[in-house]
Chains A and B, each alone.
Chain A
Amino acid sequence: MEPPLVRPSDAETARELANVVAEPLLPAEKWLIGGSLALGAALLGLLLWISRTYFPVGS
């Protein structure tokens, strides 16, 4: 990654942020958030099981 060449000033950043308009969550965004969290929860169990079964560690 290359560092950004031109960094906006604080005033420009503040202006940009002041212009941010709230947008309602679209169904696709809800699906993305919910799907990501659900997949995370489901995979947690699976990955832990694989870790402990196939990649055990001694003490």
Chain B
Amino acid sequence: MKSWLRTEDILAVILGLLIVAMSLCSLAGANVLGWAVSVKEWADPAKALVPASSAYAGLTGPGALVATFVFLIVVLSAGAKFLCSDPARFAGRFSLLFVFAFACWVIGHNSYIAATPNRRPPGVGWSLGLTGEAGYLLALLGGLAIGNLFPRVATWFKEAARPELFIKAGIVVYGAVLGAKAAEEAGRTHAILFRGLAAIIEAYLIYWALVYLIARKVFGFSREWSAPLASGISICGVTAAITTGAAIRARPVVPVMVSSLVVVFAVIEMLVLPGLAHWLLPNDPMVAAGWMGLAVKTDGAAFSSGEIVAAFYFPDPADPGRKAMALTTTTVKVFIDVFIGVWAVVLSAIWSWKIDKREGGKLPWREIWERFPKFVFGYALTFGAFFFLGQASPESIADLKRGTEQADVFRRIFFVLTFVSIGLATNVRRLWAEGLGKLALVYVVSLFGFVIWIGLAISWLFFHGVPAGGR
């Protein structure tokens, strides 16, 4: 098999499609995923876990948890083999990662932490009202604590803690969930898709040029450093920095160094921006959702921030407003990922023909393709298939939504694994590491000086007034 096929991107697409296909068996009367574990808000620990389908009620919550764990470890260990890693080593590390992430997820659903005032169960007199998404934050903070206080433990987990794999598999699954929902309101979906595309075109053209200019003129970086920096800070973090590095034929070490800072700042954005968005835009959830996609770098952090900010606006997990917000963040982020390839070709042409002229002026198509985030095809497939099926046959929408409910259980598990993995991979000490000050400074100045604010303005221009449709 070709080496570019053996990537986390391709594996994520395979995993996502497998789970969506299994979930859809329910439409044919076969309840193939009903044993998956679902976490509920709880005051009594015995009620925290339940099987996703009532048909498996006899399995009990703990039984469903074991079944889910066994399924994931088998599938993901096979995935590790696909990636040419050692499956046994992966399985050992993943087991502990799963236990830790799931414990955070369950604790975050405790009524004293999660319940909003209108949904407190009897006997619970107060609560923080953070919704079940508090589990994500606990997972992130737990991962950060381990990654920074016990770096050797984080290194040990590295084989299994794969945030890009988990989030991309989750997003492929989410494509089906959002596609089925979007088919109900085609007019708004078309508007979100077009406005999302328009917003990212604007963001690319403005962000990139400004960051590049500042890196070159104010901070005195060379072209080789400035282009990956501009892409990393302004567009989509790690993927963009590395794809840009390939496009301009920078030495591999340059985008790798840029990427190491991207992850740290992405975590800061994850912790700050969702709350800030809710505070600044209390009546504009779709602007907040678009903003997360435009401002938060790296796929994992952006999708995760979208999930958290949606919970701030719509505490009820079943609220349709949440899915409208998720569709907005996801649309923006996926278009950004697609555009990385377009922008890389533009930069490659300019570098090849005008700046770093090479014999024949050939563009590095292969390098760009190899670094292109291919999971977007998986998302486009699941979203497009469910959306168009629902459009073609409106009476099937209810079945499609029911069919994706069980797949969505796994999407949530992939998300919580992403949060803990991002925390483990984030070394905040890099911010004050000797010699990195200039790199960190250009990041701080650009990101907090104008990138996030321009992102907010663009999101407001394109998403202000778009109804989320929540309760």
Residues of A within 8 A of B (CB): 1-4, 6-8, 10-18, 20-23, 25-26, 28-29, 32-34, 36-37, 39-40, 43-44, 47-48, 50-51, 54-59
Complex alpha-carbon distance, A11 and B257, angstroms: 11
Bound Cα distance A2, B257 (Å) = 15
Closest A residue by C-beta to B351:
A28
- Which residues of B, 236-285, contact A by the 8 Å Cβ criterion? 238-239, 242-243, 252-257, 259-260
Cα distance A30–B315 in the bound complex, in angstroms? 48
Q: Which residues of A contact B124 (CB under 8 A)?
A: none
CB of B194 within 8 Å of the partner chain: yes
B240 CB to nearest A CB, Å: 9
Identify A22's interface contact among B187, B205, B220, B467, CB under 8 A. B220
B335 within 8 A of A: no
Q: Which of A4, A18, A33, A51 contacts B212 (CB 8 A)?
A: A33
The 5 closest A-B pairs by CB, nearest first: A14-B435, A40-B205, A28-B354, A47-B198, A36-B209
Chain B's nearest CB lies how many Å from the CB of A22? 4
Main SS class of interface, A:
helix
Q: Which residue of B lies closest to A33 (CB)?
A: B209
Given the interface pairs A28-B350, A37-B205, A47-B198, the reply to whether A15 lies near B164 with Cβ below 8 Å is no
- B187, B243, B256, B436, most chain A CB atoms within 10 A: B256
Beyond the given pairs A7-B260, A16-B257, A58-B188, 5 more chain A to chain B contacts, judged by CB atoms under 8 angstroms and listed by A's residue number, are A3-B164, A20-B225, A22-B220, A22-B222, A23-B216
> Could you write out 8 A-B pairs with CB less than 8 Å apart?
A1-B242, A12-B253, A26-B355, A37-B205, A40-B209, A48-B461, A55-B190, A55-B191
The residue from A8, A10, A14, A15 contacting B256, defined by CB atoms under 8 A apart: A8
- Point out residues on B near A: beta carbons under 8 Å: 7-9, 162, 164, 187-188, 190-191, 194-195, 198, 201-202, 205-206, 208-210, 212-213, 216-217, 220-223, 225, 238-239, 242-243, 252-257, 259-260, 350, 354-355, 371, 373, 430, 433-436, 438-439, 461-462, 465-467
B216 engages A4 (CB within 8 Å): no
Indicate if the CB atoms of B209 and A37 lie closer than 8 Å.
Answer: yes
Measured between beta carbons, the chain A residues less than 8 angstroms from B350 are: 28, 32
Residues of A within 8 A of B188 (CB): 57-58
**Can you name the residue of chain A whose Cβ is closest to the Cβ of B240?**
A1
Give chain A residues whose Cβ lies under 8 Å from the Cβ of B433: 10, 13-14
Is the beta-carbon distance between B257 and A48 smaller than 8 angstroms?
no
How far is A56 from B349 in the complex, measured between Cα atoms in Å?
37
Q: Find out whether the CB atom of A51 lies under 8 angstroms from the CB atom of B209.
A: no
Contact of A1 with B435 in the complex, beta carbons under 8 Å: no
Name the residue on B nearest A37 (C-beta).
B209
When chains A and B are docked, how far (Å) is the Cα of A12 from the Cα of B435?
9
Closest Cβ–Cβ distance, residue B86 to chain A (whole Å): 15
Complex alpha-carbon distance, A26 and B227, angstroms? 14
Cα separation A34 to B212 with both chains bound (whole Å)? 11
Q: Name the residue on A nearest B225 (C-beta).
A: A20
Contact A43 B205, beta carbon cutoff 8 Å: yes
Q: Which residue of A has the minimal Cβ distance to B217?
A: A25
Q: Which residues of B contact A43 (CB under 8 A)?
A: 201-202, 205
Q: Which residues of B contact A55 (CB under 8 A)?
A: 190-191, 194-195
* Complex contact B191–A10 (CB within 8 A): no
The minimal Cβ–Cβ distance linking B430 to chain A, given in whole angstroms, is 7
Interface-centre pick from B205, B371, B462 (highest chain A CB count, 10 A): B205
Rounded to whole angstroms, the CA-CA distance of A7 and B253 in the bound complex is 8
- Assess the A4–B256 pair: CB atoms within 8 A: yes
With A14-B434, A57-B465 known as contacts, the answer to whether A4 contacts B242 (CB < 8 A) is yes
Residues of B within 8 A of A48 (CB): 198, 461-462
Which listed residue, A21, A28, A34, A40, touches B222 by the CB 8 Å rule? A21
Enumerate chain B residues within 8 angstroms of A20, measured Cβ to Cβ: 220-222, 225
Shortest beta-carbon distance from B210 to chain A in Å: 8
A20 to B430, CA, bound (A): 19
The residues of B that contact A57 with a CB separation of less than 8 Å are: 187-188, 191, 465-467
**With A37-B209, A55-B195, A58-B467 in contact, is A10–B430 under 8 Å at CB?**
yes
B371 A1 Cβ-Cβ under 8 A: yes
Give the docked Cα–Cα distance between A18 and B343 (Å): 29
How many Å lie between the Cα of A27 and that of B209 in the bound state? 14
In whole angstroms, how far apart are the Cα atoms of A32 and B439 in the complex?
23
